Amino acid sequence: MKYKKNLNKKRKRRELPDDKLEKFYRILRETRKDSRFDMNKEFIQHGSTTVREHCINVAHTAYYMSYKLKIDVNEEELIRGALLHDYFLYDWHEKSWENSIHGYTHPTKSLKNACHDFDLSAIERDMIKHHMFPLTPTPPRCREGALLCIADKFCALKETLRGKGELKKKRALNK
């Protein structure tokens, strides 16, 4: 419900029609149910944004882009694939050799975890596996994956900048 409130606050800027918003929350509910999705609230992705918030932001942005640009996609697969794109389930900020190559390896780890918890379609698997393109060399083969790539970078940049702003504010208050 908290996310519904937060996203609705943003609706003035990024408005989805009610039926599409309902669909988005239904898929979010189904994805959270009987899975490890909520574990993502324990891990930070960018700035002060958790992995769970990031995945919801990305799924909402990708869905909004498909609606606004009238791109023909399978909406359920787009939303679910985007919600699970960073389903790696660990803190990638901890210092280790493995985490130093997280950018390259987490799509495969996310796909493995997601396949363990869900029965994924070919589109959803392709989206998760190739979402880090062009950092990883193979591009997604579907429109849903291309939208995810763009929405992911856009949200990552926004979340990182917001995190830096918050840090600056904190430092200024501590002076």
- At closest approach, how far in Å is the CB of 54 from Fe ion? 6
Closer by beta carbon to Fe ion, 150 or else 168? 150
Is 77 a binding residue for Fe ion by CB under 5 A? The answer is no
Asked if 152 touches Fe ion (CB under 5 A), the answer is: yes
CB of 153 to Fe ion, least distance (A): 9
Could you tell me the CA-to-CA distances from 16 to 10, 81, 91, 98, 117 in Å, in that order?
10, 19, 32, 39, 29
Looking at 77, 86, 124, 126, which residue binds Fe ion (CB under 5 A)?
86
Q: How far apart are CA 133 and CA 172, in angstroms?
A: 37
- Distance from C-alpha of 49 to C-alpha of 55, rounded to nearest angstrom: 10
- Could you tell me where the beta strands, DSSP code E, fall in the chain? 44-46, 49-50
Structure tokens at 105: 């390896």
**144 touching Fe ion, by CB under 5 A:** no
- Segment near Fe ion (CB under 5 A), from 30-38, 81-89, 111-119, 163-171? 81-89
Tell whether residue 159 is a contact of Fe ion (CB under 5 A).
no
Nearest approach in angstroms of CB 15 to Fe ion is 23
Query: How many Cβ atoms from other residues are within 10 Å of residue 163's Cβ?
Result: 16
Minimum CB–partner distance for residue 36 and Fe ion (Å)? 16
Q: What is the number of other CB atoms lying within 10 angstroms of the CB of residue 22?
A: 11
- The DSSP call for residue 39 is G
Choices 67-75, 91-99, 118-126, 152-160 (CB under 5 A): range interacting with Fe ion: 152-160
* Footprint on this chain of Fe ion (rule: CB under 5 A): 86, 152
